[in-house]
A and B are shown apart, each in its own frame.
Chain A
Amino acid sequence: QSALTQSASVSGSPGQSITISCTGTSSDVGRYKFVSWYQQHPGKAPQLIIYEVSNRPSGVSTRFSGSKSGNTASLTISGLQAEDEADYYCSSYTSNSTVTFGGGTKLTVL
């Protein structure tokens, strides 16, 4: 079971928008709507910010949005704020009835 591919790091200035990509295969991201995104601050547990590709749980800022095209899912954060600095992980359901995570992307707010 291979992890989904994410860029190791991304950065942006306050107020800007950034996009984090998550590339899988036709057996996971490309096959199912069950793609989620998690935000993890240092020393904290991950927090769900996007589920089923583009849905936001109650309480999550509208600055977070998700999409998918083919085997690649994307998380966009608009109007970057200092508090957005964290690690971001994607996950997907797979054709083996398992869950796989991406390697994580570290977001730095300049």
Chain B
Amino acid sequence: QVQLQESGPGLVKPSESLSLTCSVSGGSIISTSHYWGWIRQPPGKGLEWIGSIDYRGTSSYIPSLMSRVTISVDTSKNRFSLSLTSVTAADTAMYYCARQRIAVAGPFDRWGQGTLVTVSS
């Protein structure tokens, strides 16, 4: 059973960069059947897809964050990462990593437990 686990700082200062890693266990990130994505949820609000990547590094991002976000993959460590630059209080959210079946169009069928990131000085 594939499991995902987010890790990274819980507090980031405004204007700095947010960096999170999602470690995948119980299966290989090298899969032609899956993409790997990041989704966030501000406190008390709904879900927002940030972007997804496959093991070859082919990625897709939400247009509103495209200038600030990078998702990368490290197949040697079986993990993928999120980088978000120039953060503001609006980026405060629970950040989830998830496995996406088949492609960017597919459903998120496995989720990490989430990690709360607060942007504050």
Contacts A45-B112, A101-B49 given; does A51 touch B107 at CB 8 Å: yes
Q: State A25–B113 Cα separation when bound (angstroms).
A: 31
The reply to whether A46 and B111 contact each other, CB–CB distance below 8 Å, is: yes
- In the complex, number of A-B residue pairs with CB atoms less than 8 Å apart: 65
Q: State A34–B105 Cα separation when bound (angstroms).
A: 6
The reply to whether B109 and A98 contact each other, CB–CB distance below 8 Å, is: no
The reply to whether A102 and B107 contact each other, CB–CB distance below 8 Å, is: no
Q: Which residues of A contact B39 (CB under 8 A)?
A: 46, 101
The reply to whether B109 and A102 contact each other, CB–CB distance below 8 Å, is: no
- Check A108 for interface membership: any CB of B closer than 8 A: no
Contacts A3-B46, A89-B46, A104-B47 given; does A98 touch B62 at CB 8 Å: yes
- Check B81 for interface membership: any CB of A closer than 8 A: no
- Check A38 for interface membership: any CB of B closer than 8 A: yes
Count of chain A residues near B, Cβ 8 A: 25
Q: Which residues of B contact A102 (CB under 8 A)?
A: 46
The reply to whether A93 and B104 contact each other, CB–CB distance below 8 Å, is: yes
Q: State A57–B110 Cα separation when bound (angstroms).
A: 11
- Check A52 for interface membership: any CB of B closer than 8 A: yes
The reply to whether A48 and B104 contact each other, CB–CB distance below 8 Å, is: no
The reply to whether B52 and A99 contact each other, CB–CB distance below 8 Å, is: yes
B residues near A, CB below 8 A?
37, 39, 46-49, 52, 60-64, 96, 101, 104-109, 111-114
24 residue pairs of the A-B complex, CB under 8 angstroms, read A1-B62, A1-B63, A3-B46, A34-B105, A36-B107, A45-B96, A45-B114, A46-B39, A46-B96, A46-B108, A48-B108, A51-B106, A52-B107, A57-B109, A89-B47, A93-B104, A98-B62, A98-B104, A99-B37, A100-B49, A101-B46, A101-B49, A103-B46, A104-B46
5 closest Cβ pairs, A-B complex: A51-B107, A93-B105, A99-B49, A36-B107, A45-B111
